Chains A and B, each alone.
Chain A
Amino acid sequence: MLEINGLVAGYGNKIVLRDVSLSIEKGELVCLLGPNGSGKTTLIRAIGGFADVFKGRILLNGKPLLEMSFKERAKKIAVVPQNTYVEFSYRAYDIVMMGRLPYLSRFRRESEEDREMVRRAMEMTETYNLRERKIDELSGGERQRVIIARALAQDPEFLLMDEPTAHLDINYQIEIFSLTKKLRKSTGILCSIHDVNLASEFADRILMMRDGRILAEGSPEEVLTEENIKRVFKIDAKVSKNPFTGRIFVSRIPKRSKRVEKRVHVICGGGSGIEIIRKLWEEGVDVSVGVLNVLDSDHEFARNLNIEIIEEAPFSPISRERAKMNEEMMEDADVIVVAPFALGKGNLENLKSTLKFVGKKRIIVMDGPPIEERDFTGGEGKKLWEKIREGALRVRGVEEIIKILEGEE
C-alpha cells in the first residue's frame, strides 16, 4: 500500500502541494482529476522523487519512501512522465532496457532475467514487434506504449502516470486506458488526467484536486457530482449515464445569454447543424430543428439542449406527415437556416419544404463542401438546393448569421 500523509511539496522554495493525504492499494486504478495547475503533476513527481518534499510522509508498505535511495525507490515505483518525447534515436528496446537500470550492476552486462523482463513488458504493451524501431520515429501512441513498457520493466509495485493520453488522438486514448486497466492486476496505479469522462470510465477511484489540495475522493459515482465539478473545474455540468458503458457521463452546459430574441428554424443533419445550433442557442435565439432522424448526431445534440425537434424514426425517410409539421415550424420562424448537410432520397423532403418559403421568409444558406460532393440523389437535390440558394442569403459561418439576425432587430 502507498500511503501519503500531510504532504507539502513543490520546487525550490515554491510550494505547490499543500497538505495532501491519500492511499492507494495494489490492484487499484486511481485517477487524479483536476484542471491545469492543480498539482497533479507535482504530486506524481513528489512520489517519484523529482519534486522537493518539504513536509509529510510517504509510506510504501509501511516503510518511509523518502529515506530510500533513488535506486531502491525506482524498484518499487515507476513513473511515466507527462512529456515522453525523446529527441535522440534510441531503439525502442534500449529505452525499455533503461527500466532495468535500478537492477543492473555497473560493471556487469544485462542478464537473461533482465532481457526476459524487458520482453515481457514489451509484450504486455504490444510493443515487442517495435523493439528494433527508433523511438523518435514511432507514432505518439506507440511511443507512449514503449514508455509504459519501460516503466513496467522496472517491475514496480506502483505505477504513476502523468496525463498518459494528453497529446494523443481519441483512439489512442482509449487504447492506453484499456492497457492501463489491464496493468492494474499486478500494480497499483495512480494516473493523472484532465478528461472527466475518461476518468469516470476507467477509474476505480477518483481524487479531485484543485490548488494543491484534494477536494473530493471516492468512486466515480460518489465524486463526479455537478457540485464537485463546479468546485473543481468552475464550469456548469450535467451528469448523466453513458448509455453504452453505464458509467457516469459529464457534459458541459454551455452558457446562454438572452441577446437575440428571434425564432430560427434550422434544416440540417449528420452533424452539419451542431455548430449552428450551439452558437444560436448561446446567443439566446429560440431555435428549432427538423426534420431529423432519431440517433442522427444533430438530433442527439439538439435533444441535449432541450430544443424543439421534428423527429422521424431512425433511418427512415421523412414522411409527409412530419414534413407538414416541419413546414408549420417554418411558418412560425423569423428566419430559416439551411446547413450544408448531405442530401439523400430520405431527407429531400426538407429541401422541398424549404423551397415553399422562398420569397415569403428570410432564408439563409450556409456554405460548406461543394454541393456536388454532398448530393447523393443524382442531381435532383442539387437542383432544389440551387433554387433555394437563388432566393436566399449566403453566409460562410455562424457569426454571419448572428450578425444578420442582430441587424434585423
Chain B
Amino acid sequence: MMKMKRACSLILVILILSFSLSGCIEKEREESPGSIIVTDALNRTVILEEPPKRIVSLAPSVTEILFAIGAGGKVVGNTIYCDYPPEAKNITKVGDIAHPDIEKILDLSPDLVIAHRLNDLSVIEKLEELGIPVIALDEKSLEDIMTSIMLIGKITGYEKNATRIVSEIKERIDEINKSVKKKGVRVMVVVWHDPIWIAGGETFIDDMIKISGGVNIFEDVKGYQIVGYEKIISRDPKVIIVMAEHETGGEISYKAILNDKRLSSVSAIKNGRVYMVNADVISRPSPRVIIGLEEIFKIIQEEK
C-alpha cells in the first residue's frame, strides 16, 4: 500500500513538474537528420537510424527509466528482477542481470538493447557482434542517473519526457538543498548486516546523504564495501539507514543492526535513530531515487 501511494505521488509530482518545467528543454544536436547518435557509459558511440520499436532492458533501473519516460510500451524483454512498474512483470524475461540469456534476447528480435554495467561484459560484446544496437549504463552519482535518463530518452526518442523528469529531479534536489537545516549529520547506510556492507563514496547514495545535509562516515571508502566494527564505533554515526529488501525478509538487516550488542555504544542506536528504507528506491539508479532522496532527507533532518 505504501508503495502504491508513493508511486502515485511520484507520478503526480512528475506530471505537475513536467508541465511547469516544459519550458527549459535542451535542443538536440543531431549530426544527420533522422539518425540518433549517443555515447554510453563505456564510451561507446552508438548510432540508430530511427527510434527503436523493440527494446530489451537488462536491468530493473533501465526498465523503470523506460516506463518513466513513456517508452514502456516498447519494452519487449527485461530481467527476472524487473518488477516496477507492475506492468514490467508481465514482459518476457530474458534471464538474470549477471548473465542474461542471449538466445532469448535474439528470439525477441530487438532493435535496441539497453544494458548495464552489472551485466557480464561478454553479453554486451556478443550483442554488438551480432549487430544488435546496445548501449550500456553505469551510475556512480545522482548526476550519472540523470545522464542515464537523458541518454535513454535521447536514444528512444522520448527526449522531451526525459528532460522533464531530469529537470524535476533537479528541482526537487534544489528544494531539499534549500530546506536543509541541520548540516554535517554523520550517517551510515547499511546494505547488509553480516558482514556489515555499507555504501561508501562514489555511490549515488553518498550524493543523497550529502544533499540531505549529512556526511557519509565512510565517504573515503569507494563503492559498496565491508567495514569493521571498530571503524563504525570510532566514527560513531548519528544516523544509521538500513536498506530493506522489499517484500520478503526485509527487516533482517534492520533488526540485526538494532540488536547488535557490539554497536550498542553507537549514538544512532542509543538515540533510536536507526531507520529502514526500501532498497529499491535508494539502490536502483532510476527516477524513483527522488523518493529515496526525500526519505533520506526526512530521516536525516528529523528532530529527535
Indicate whether A and B are direct neighbours in the complex (CB within 8 Å).
Answer: no
